[in-house]
Chain A
């Protein structure tokens, strides 16, 4: 099966459990099992090529320019981990089916589990480091969901948060490290990176890259000093702990160290950092584990310790160390997953995981007893079980490792670690299963059904099998080791066997086991000593750090970001002015390339009106109605300015938009207070004046400077002028740019406009449906209302004007391509014509005569524009390529037909729809606010002569 399918299957499969949830728990688990099984079989189909030593590749270029490609690779190492992930995954799914209670949402659980599984498989099969990072972060996220699966437990939520924080931060660090590696090598493909050992190790950035990557690995694999999150993650349901925290996720860091081993290992830095961290973790984890009373906490710290062991082995940088590491990964995954599942069984049956409340379970739960004993003895390193073999190899390797110039340090610490490891294994067996049968278990313990004990029992098969006949596993271990080593080191000649002769490792092993038994004998005084020793509590420290970071961030942000919009505006303005000032003073200022032009008296008067209106707005802004009128003057002056400076299209647009905006503001002002009260202090106003003057001066300086100089680079305008007629078939260059040269931009812009209108519509709907709508119903107008809301003169006038306006709009639209005009302006003009009908005859009357809803008009506009663009695909041209031709239908003059005109129809429709929908939404608010509705076009209609006509003469309340 293609590697893509193996990775994709869990992700797509993650959709199924949620769907199957209603079909029952077995169906839900069954479908999850099937998905994983399919991926597992797919993986196995690749086994022959892996065994033959080939590297299976699958590649799809995604963003080659960024080096981000979807490249997958399957070699021995990847196969090994994928086998663990999918194989143990199968057992976990079967186990979880039995473990989860009826109250747990099973579909949700399996969805998360499959997401996690897919992300893990993605990590181990990625050939591209960027892709690997994506999957890496996905495991952090999905494990967060899994750890916090029991959302009602605070411990679960805190544990999930802590795991996400620690592994997420590590992931961020690792991104940095991987990017450095990619920069050094010039490729983000792992297969390329792995070939460049010398290049990477010689680079000055090797050390930062190493530290960053190791941060990612150490946080993920819970290495000291980041080991503290793993025990807290044990608040997760046991299947999660068994899966994530024994077999898979915590091994991701180990996997990456193994993957990167050929290029990163072998240097002093690698050796010192990795070996030391591993060694400390191994000893510390083992010591803490011995004194834990919660079964899962004990197992969690034992996992920490074993991960440290593997890390240390990888750190030594020798081929033998790597082989021992691979072998121990395999062994640890088998016995630890079995132990976790058994702990879950005990918890499930006895309703407690506290070792102090257990004991004597040997006769009550014989099957579980057998499983736990074999797994724990293997972990303790008892011969004929697989844990013994790899532990022996570890001690052998430790014996040859000289750290900090001391030949004793590593062997002694390794022996101490093994000693405590043996001790907690013995404690686990004796304190839980031996001793007298008690009568105060929270529930009567008994062996569970086969569905629950079979998965861990299956894992015991390799525990014993490999332990008795290690040569069976040897070819596979060597295959994986060869993949780890790459071409950086030669394959060790050593074989996996039980009896190596009377080597030092054997004596160390004996010391460890005997010492472990002795430690168990003096457990009680040792526990008292342990409990009497003060030691830092990682969770408290972690929370203090998080708290401190949050406080620091608040200290930094709150003064600037206190929820006051005005403050942001002021800070923003001042910052921009200073940035501009800095650029101004440090940049080079060219000489003016234009001489100032002569002043025209018309311009001066226009300028005077503009300035007067603007300044008037500042002083009179408290009178809101007046300031609207002044704004109208400003807009008008700007329009006239556009006319004056050869921009007829702009002038028409500005003018029509001005009309529509003022109407809109008036509609809003209908509800808002009429006056703005004086609230700010004089000081505050002075500050604002200062900020405003600074901003004004800055923009004045910039504008004046800019207007007299040529731009730095040549403008592309000449192209448009030269090609407008030849290429676009129009003489109005502005319009040709809009509908042809930059048609795609315009297309985007009408979509933005349409979204804005739909947003306004949606807001209105929300307001009307909510409490505001009810409030509006009872609203009393806060000022006198006009007696005749729809006066006859206005109705008659606007009715007569309507066809004229339509005609003007039509003309402006058609002439747009060659003369000033076009879809935007025509749309605005037609909108104003329609708005006049609303104003004159009222909302209800106009709406009743409306054939198409404005949403439809907007949609039609965008569709017409889009389809026009797509049309060019049919003649194998890019999107929105335009074409035009000239036709002559007698007796008319020759005229032009252009696809751009069709596009302009789309623009026209969108503008009409958007403007009308916005205004209509505002008036719907007004309509709700208790104004009388009339179905007649005018309030007083002499031809009607009914009482209703007269009654509405009374002011419309």
Chain B
């Protein structure tokens, strides 16, 4: 079971990195989202993986899974939404402003900055 989780993290990371290395904003944002999943799952597993023992206290149960990583990951998920939204907005703003959604700085063209005069 652990192998499955670890391999899922690995595959999510690899796919995330590959997409982050793309040239346009949209796949890069998707890649970052995949990396976010990978990181969140990794953080989550740092509290061991336990089946059927949620950290909700009951009178007759004594074993619970580790609640701490869950609390950390919970806020991480919400924050990552905020960050994704900001990145998407920046990417969108850049595209709307220049009709170009490349993430890399393009080499300066000779007529750079003389927009509208020629």
Interface residues of A (CB under 8 A from B): 562-567, 569-570, 573, 594, 596-600, 603-604, 607, 610-611, 614-615, 617-618, 621, 624, 627-628, 631, 634-635, 638, 641-642, 644-650, 653-654, 657, 660-661, 664-665, 668-669, 671-673, 676-677, 679-680, 688-689, 691-693, 695-704, 706-708, 711, 715-717, 720-721, 724-725, 731-734, 737-738, 742, 745-746, 749, 752-753, 756-757, 759-760, 763-764, 766-767, 770-772, 775-776, 818-820, 824, 828, 911, 914-915, 918, 921-922, 925
Q: Do B38 and A596 have beta carbons less than 8 Å apart?
A: no
* CB proximity of B26 to chain A, nearest CB, Å: 5
6 A-B residue pairs with Cβ-Cβ distance under 8 Å, sorted by A, are A676-B26, A680-B23, A702-B42, A706-B46, A756-B85, A772-B96
Q: A692's contact among B14, B30, B45, B95, by CB below 8 Å, is which? A: B14
What's the nearest-Cβ distance from chain B to residue A114, in Å? 41
- The reply to whether A734 and B55 contact each other, CB–CB distance below 8 Å, is yes
Interface of B is mostly: helix
Contact of A925 among B13, B45, B55, B92 (CB under 8 A): B92
Q: Is the CB of A731 within 8 A of B78?
A: no
B90 with A763: CB separation less than 8 A = yes
**Given A570-B21, A596-B3, A611-B7, 7 additional A-B pairs, CB 8 A:** A600-B51, A618-B15, A668-B91, A672-B25, A679-B23, A734-B55, A749-B75
A754 to chain B, nearest CB (A): 8
Is the beta-carbon distance between A731 and B44 smaller than 8 angstroms?
A: no
Q: Which residue of B lies closest to A674 (CB)?
A: B26
Report the bound CA distance from A596 to B6 in whole Å. 12
Contact partner of B10 (CB less than 8 A), chosen from A669, A697, A724, A771, is A697
Complex contacts, B110 vs chain A, CB 8 Å = none
Residue of B41, B70, B91 ringed by the most chain A CB atoms within 10 A: B70
Q: For the complex formed, measure the closest distance between the CB of A117 and the CB atoms of chain B, giving whole angstroms.
A: 43
Asked whether A776 lies within 8 Å of B5 as measured between CB atoms, the reply is no
B17–A691 touching, CB < 8 Å: yes
**Closest Cβ–Cβ distance, residue A468 to chain B (whole Å):** 69
Closest CB of chain A to B48's CB: distance in Å? 7
Of B4, B22, B88, which is within 8 A of A665 by CB? B88
Contact B75 A746 (CB under 8 A): yes
Docked-complex contact B6 and A692, CB < 8 angstroms: no
Top 4 nearest A-B pairs (CB, nearest first) are A696-B14, A700-B10, A563-B105, A756-B82
A653–B36 Cα distance when bound, in Å, is 14
Q: B2 is contacted by which of A664, A689, A704, A824 (Cβ under 8 Å)?
A: A704
A569 near B2 with CB under 8 A, answer no
The distance from the CB of B69 to the nearest CB of chain A, in whole angstroms, is 8
Inter-subunit contact B82/A918 (CB<8 Å): yes
Q: Mark B72-87, 1 if CB is under 8 A from A, else 0.
A: 0111011111111110
Chain B residues positioned under 8 Å from A645 (CB to CB): 44, 49-51, 65
Q: List B residues 13-58 near A (Cβ within 8 Å).
A: 13-15, 17-30, 33-34, 37-38, 40-42, 44-58
On whether the beta carbons of B4 and A599 are closer than 8 Å, the reply is yes
Q: How many angstroms from the CA of A648 to the CA of B2 in the assembled complex?
A: 20
Contact B71 A738 (CB under 8 A): yes
Is the interface on chain B under 10, 10 to 19, 20 to 34, or 35 or more residues? 35 or more
Q: Check if A647 sits within 8 Å of B17, measured CB to CB.
A: no
Beta-carbon contact of A565 and B103 below 8 Å:
yes
The yes or no answer to B1 lying at the interface (CB within 8 A) is yes
The residue that A742 contacts in the complex, of B58, B65, B71, with Cβ under 8 A, is: B71
CB distance from A341 to the nearest CB of B (A): 48
The listed residue (B8, B22, B82) touching A611 by CB distance below 8 A is B8
Contact among B2, B15, B58, B64 with A596 in the assembled complex (CB-CB below 8 Å): B2
A752–B21 touching, CB < 8 Å: no
Complex contact B67–A704 (CB within 8 A): no
Nearest CB in chain A: distance from B18 CB, A: 4
Chain A residue numbers with a CB within 8 Å of B46 are 706, 711
Chain B CB count within 10 A is highest, among A604, A638, A697, A767, for A638
Q: Which residues of B contact A732 (CB under 8 A)?
A: 55-57
Contacts A603-B4, A672-B101, A763-B90 hold; do A614 and B15 have CB atoms under 8 A apart? yes
Chain A residues within an 8 Å CB radius of B97: 767, 770-772
Contacts of B29 in A (CB 8 A): 665
Cα–Cα distance between A915 and B86 once the two chains are bound (Å): 11
Contacts of B24 in A (CB 8 A): 676-677, 679
Separation of A161 and B16 alpha carbons in the complex (Å): 46
Residues of A within 8 A of B19 (CB): 617-618, 621
**Does the CB pair B23–A566 fall under 8 Å?**
yes
